[in-house]
Structure formats: structure tokens, C-alpha cells
Structure 1
Amino acid sequence: MALALKDRQQHNYGDYLQWPEDMRYELIDGDAYLMSPAPDLPHQDVAGEIYFQARQALQGKPCRAFIAPVDVRLPKRNEADELIDSVVQPDVLVVCDSDKLDRRGVRGAPDWIVEVLSPSTASHDHINKRDLYQRAGVREYWLVHPVDRILTVYRLHNGEYGKPELYPLEGETRVGILPEIVIAWDELVARLPNDY
């Protein structure tokens, strides 16, 4: 996914809407990143299980869980949709403000975002997306490292993430800003291939 478009032009959501549907991109500050082909099965299993557990925990509550691909537009100010230069597709996200939801996806910062790392996207998710999510005001950002069996958690305090918290992918982990969501890891991790 870390392959920037060769033209080096600055792009916005208006451009993004014109691109072929069979190729997925993300925009970060106007730079277009071509997303790699469909993630591997273990990646999808991890993302799907986190989404499933979050969705069950939020049943009957105002917050809603979503799984990729969902366009999340992150305006810098109050610019029109077509002028937004950051559009991402997090693996799992939760939005508690229904005013941020529309036909096209989400406009504004989700409350909680989860990215499941793969070798080709790890640095992009750790650096570019972390900075973007912090600026946009994502209250809690999780990076799940299935290979290393580690969870990295960033929580927003006074507009900054600060030092992350690290947890093993074992037992249960509660979402700090949404305590009704508790992710159970053991059964999921047991399904992951040993060489993953």
C-alpha cells in the first residue's frame, strides 16, 4: 500500500471519486497511496473478528462499528467534500456521532480506529496514518500486529497521542474510550498460522 502515485500531484476527494473502481486508493494530505491487492486471509480474520466483537458489544447503542472498505473523509477545516485531501479506509472503525455518517461513508474523525498490520503497510500505519489520525482527532487508535502478537494503543490526550501502550494479544483488551467493547484474543490468535 505504500506506493505513492507517480505523478506527485496533490489530489482531493473530487479526484478520488473519478478513479477506477477496481483500484483502491487512500489520500493523506493530498498524496495518493495505491492500496495493495486484497489482504491475506489471516489479516481478514483478525479484522473481521474485531469488527464482529465490537458490533455485538454496541448492539442497541448509538455507536456503530464498520469494517473496510468504508471511505473516511478527514477534512482539515469545513471544506466541501470534493476538496478534502485525506480519505482513508481503516480496517475497523467505530463512529458514535451519527451526523458524521452519510451515503459515501464517514465525514470526520471516527472515535476508534483499528489497523491490522502487514509487512507492506506497517510503517505507513505507524507513521503516516498515526499522524493523520492524531491531527483529525481520532480518540483511540489501535495497531494490531498479528505476526508479533502485539497490540499498540494510542489514546488522544490534549490533542496528542503521546507514548503508546503495548499489550500482548492474549486474554482480553478493553477499548478505553468505549468500555463496553472488550476484545477477546485467545480464540482468534489460536486460529492464526504459526508462521504468520
Structure 2
Amino acid sequence: MSAAFTRVQIPPKEVYTCADYAALPEGAPYQLIGGKLVMTPSPSTRHQAILRRLGVKMANFVDEKGVGAVYFAPVDVYLQETAVYQPDIAFVSKDRFAIIEAEKINGAPDLVVEILSPSTAYYDLREKFKIYARCGVKEYWIVDPIEKSIELYTGKEGKFIQVARAEETGRVESGVLGGFSIKLEEIFVDAP
């Protein structure tokens, strides 16, 4: 950790807010989850390889179609007063670019991808899952490197409904990014 982070003193509070989060130094390894500052360590190289493979394919598709923008962690997504997340991948459609600000995404992206890590899996599957749905994320992908699986959820009336799941082999297709699909064998490769 850099010297800048070791000098930062975060005063203890019962509930932290977006204002507290915004006061952290740039690059501080935290997310604001349920009013708590949760330290999120750097992801593993396997996690990063999966992020790169899936993210590059998604970003290339979005760029070719001209339908929006794709962002990669760490980018702050402000969802509510006690929730600022850094999804692994966030897609914002062109007609919603107003939520993209210089320092953050201020509102729910259209599509969010979270790649499970031992340190964040609980939050990705529970707390963040619920908040993403309530705040209007239209599609949520959960990528599990251990199971080599991808689950797709569609947002409906503040809840997510699972619409697809594939493990080890097969293809999943986005409903939000019409025409974008991915073969699991292309994402879960053992080599770096």
C-alpha cells in the first residue's frame, strides 16, 4: 500500500455516506456498502485475466455498435447515500450518458458485471445484488471463476430474475446489449 493510504485516518462512524466516501484520497481501496467502508484488496491475476477477456470483448462490441460506453474497475458508481460500488465492468447506454460525470458514474449503469473474489463474493451476491436491482440496473452478470460459470439476471420491478446460467461450456447472451454473447470457453482459459 502506498504511503498516502497509511497516513489517511478514517474517523470511526456508525454509518458512512457518499460525502465521507468522496473525502477519501483517489485510489483508496474501499467501496461504500450498506453505509460501511469495506476494504477491497487487489484482485488475483486469474480474476484480472477473466476481466480482461470479457471486458475487451464487451467494450469492442459496444464501440463497434456505438451504443454506449464500458468502464472497468475501479470506477465509482454512486447508487444511493450509503452505496458507492466499483463493479468490475459497467455499461452505460448512449441515451443515459448524463449519469457519467468526470469523477464517477452517478446512477445505475444499464449493465453490471461482478467477478466473484473470496474477499467480495458475499457482498456481490447479497448486498450489492439487492441494491443494484433496487436502483435500476437492467442486467447483472455474476461471473464465478471457481465454478467457471456466468449467471445473468434481468432487473424487473426492483428485483432480479435469473434468465440464464452456463457452467464451463456454452454461451450466454445479453438482453441489454442486443447481439452480444460470449462463449464460456473464451473467458475461462487456464493460461494467463
Q: Give the alignment's TM-score, normalised by structure 1.
A: 0.83
Query: What is the identity, as a one-letter code, of the residue corresponding to 2:85?
Result: V
Q: Tell me by how many angstroms 1:158 deviates.
A: 2.6
**SS of the residue aligned with 1:190?**
coil
1:19 matched to which residue of 2? 24
Query: What is the identity, as a one-letter code, of the residue corresponding to 1:153?
Result: L
1:81 matched to which residue of 2? none
Q: Tell me by how many angstroms 1:22 deviates.
A: 5.1
> Aligned match of 1:93 in 90, 94, 98?
90
Query: What is the identity, as a one-letter code, of the residue corresponding to 2:43?
Result: P
1:63 matched to which residue of 2? 68
- CA distance in 1 between partners of 2:34 and 2:78 (Å): 11
The range that moved more, 167-176 or 60-69, is 167-176
1:154 matched to which residue of 2? 153
2:6 matched to which residue of 1? none
1:45 matched to which residue of 2? 49
Q: Tell me by how many angstroms 1:166 deviates.
A: 2.1
Q: Tell me by how many angstroms 1:111 deviates.
A: 0.5
Compare the two structures and name the one with the higher helix fraction.
2
Aligned-pair identity (%):
29
1:144 matched to which residue of 2? 143
CA contact (8 A) 1:58 1:180 kept: no
Query: What is the identity, as a one-letter code, of the residue corresponding to 1:129?
Result: K
Cα deviation 1:9-68 (Å, max 9, x = unaligned):
2111221122244531111232221112x1111100111111101111111413111110
- CA distance in 1 between partners of 2:162 and 2:70 (Å): 26
CA contact (8 A) 1:154 1:163 kept: yes
Q: Tell me by how many angstroms 1:191 deviates.
A: 2.9
Q: Tell me by how many angstroms 1:169 deviates.
A: 3.9
Query: CA separation of 1:185/1:163 partners in 2, compared to 1, >3 Å: closer, same or farther?
Result: closer
> Aligned match of 2:35 in 11, 30, 48?
30
- CA distance in 1 between partners of 2:168 and 2:111 (Å): 18
**SS of the residue aligned with 2:131?**
helix
- CA distance in 2 between partners of 1:103 and 1:184 (Å): 34
> Aligned match of 1:54 in 49, 54, 58?
58
Query: What is the identity, as a one-letter code, of the residue corresponding to 1:89?
Result: Q
- CA distance in 1 between partners of 2:13 and 2:169 (Å): 42
- CA distance in 1 between partners of 2:128 and 2:160 (Å): 12
- CA distance in 2 between partners of 1:57 and 1:115 (Å): 19
Root mean square deviation of aligned Cα:
2.1
Higher relative contact order by CA 8 Å / sep ≥ 6: 1 or 2? 1
Structure 1 unaligned blocks of 5 or more: 76-83
Q: Tell me by how many angstroms 1:164 deviates.
A: 5.8
Q: Tell me by how many angstroms 1:177 deviates.
A: 1.7
Q: Tell me by how many angstroms 1:98 deviates.
A: 0.6
CA contact (8 A) 2:16 2:35 kept: yes
1:112 matched to which residue of 2? 111
CA contact (8 A) 1:43 1:118 kept: yes
Structure 2 unaligned blocks of 5 or more: 1-9
1:186 matched to which residue of 2? 185
